[in-house]
Amino acid sequence: MRTQKAASFTLIELLVVIAIIAILAGMIMPALGHARAVARGSQCLGNQKQIALMLGLYADDRKGWYPVPVGVAYYEESGSKVGWINQLKLVKIAEKKVFRCPDEPKRDFSYSLNVHEPYMRVRRWNSWTMARLAQSKSGPASMILVEESPFDLFTDGDCDQDNYTQNSSPDVAGAPERHSGFTLSFADGHCAKVKHYDFEAITYYTDRFSGWLGATWTPDPAVTVKHSDIR
């Protein structure tokens, strides 16, 4: 009885199959990479939402005062009030991983608290109050409170980067790309991912829409409210 020969690939057919698989892989891999980048961006935005919530709760518990970002963040230092991140750890049991973007290459902290205006008002470390944010001419929904800061401009442990981190914008020459933009938390508690700084829509200041003014900032007498540090 004659047996039927098993079907087999020729070398050319095998090479064709391999080539097709390679083409398909080349088409799929960029899509998978983009999907992973989108997922990491969503996780980063989720971090910001948790931070914004904790900041609001912290201020509620402290008569409207937000944390004072003095020096670098010592997350592991027990009992220390140094650094706004450490204060959130102590008061709101914040996890360290919340303060690091999944695309962060080396630093432990990827987010900075904007405190340039409070510092310039009294020429010492100071912070925001809910009352001042509520009085903002620019509007709390437009004012940056926390931002993602991928630009390698500061020391590894420096989490108190003020508004200098506008240099992290992807449209700035030499700034690294993360997830097609960067994340922000605003003074009203909402968060967003943006591709660039639009200073007609977002701001660092309570009294104006503007970019980085550095040491030239002076308070607008119409909105300046004197108060003491009650902590």
Burial 141-159 (b: 16+ CB within 10 A, else e): ebbbbbbbbbbeebeeebb
Alpha-carbon distance of 83 to 74, in angstroms, equals 7
| Position 223 in a domain | no
| Position 68 in a domain | yes
Alpha-carbon distance of 178 to 150, in angstroms, equals 8
| Position 7 in a domain | no
- H or E element, residue 145: strand 144-148
Edge-to-edge strands, sheet with 182-186: 111-113, 144-148, 182-186, 191-194
Q: What is the DSSP string of 120-138?
A: HHHTSS---BHHHHHT-SS
Identify the pLDDT of residue 79: 64
| Position 221 in a domain | no
Interacting residues of 105 by C-beta distance below 8 A, sequence separation 6+: none
| Position 122 in a domain | yes
Interacting residues of 25 by C-beta distance below 8 A, sequence separation 6+: none
- Taking only the tens of pLDDT, the chain with its 231 residues reads 555 555 566 777 777 777 778 777 777 666 656 667 777 888 999 999 999 999 999 999 999 999 887 766 667 766 666 778 888 887 778 888 999 898 887 778 888 888 878 887 777 788 899 999 998 888 999 999 998 876 555 566 665 555 555 566 666 665 656 787 888 999 999 999 888 888 788 888 888 887 665 555 566 544 433 333 323
Domain, as residue range, for 46 = 12-216
Identify the pLDDT of residue 157: 60
Q: Dihedral, CA atoms, 94, 98, 99, 104, nearest 10 degrees?
A: 160
| Position 103 in a domain | yes
Identify the pLDDT of residue 225: 37
Q: How many domains does the chain have?
A: 1
| Position 224 in a domain | no
Identify the pLDDT of residue 105: 78
Alpha-carbon distance of 57 to 177, in angstroms, equals 32
C-beta of residue 110 within 8 angstroms of C-beta of residue 101: yes
Alpha-carbon distance of 120 to 126, in angstroms, equals 9
How many CB atoms within 10 Å of residue 92? 17
Evaluate if pTM is beyond 0.85.
Answer: no
Alpha-carbon distance of 221 to 46, in angstroms, equals 37
| Position 93 in a domain | yes
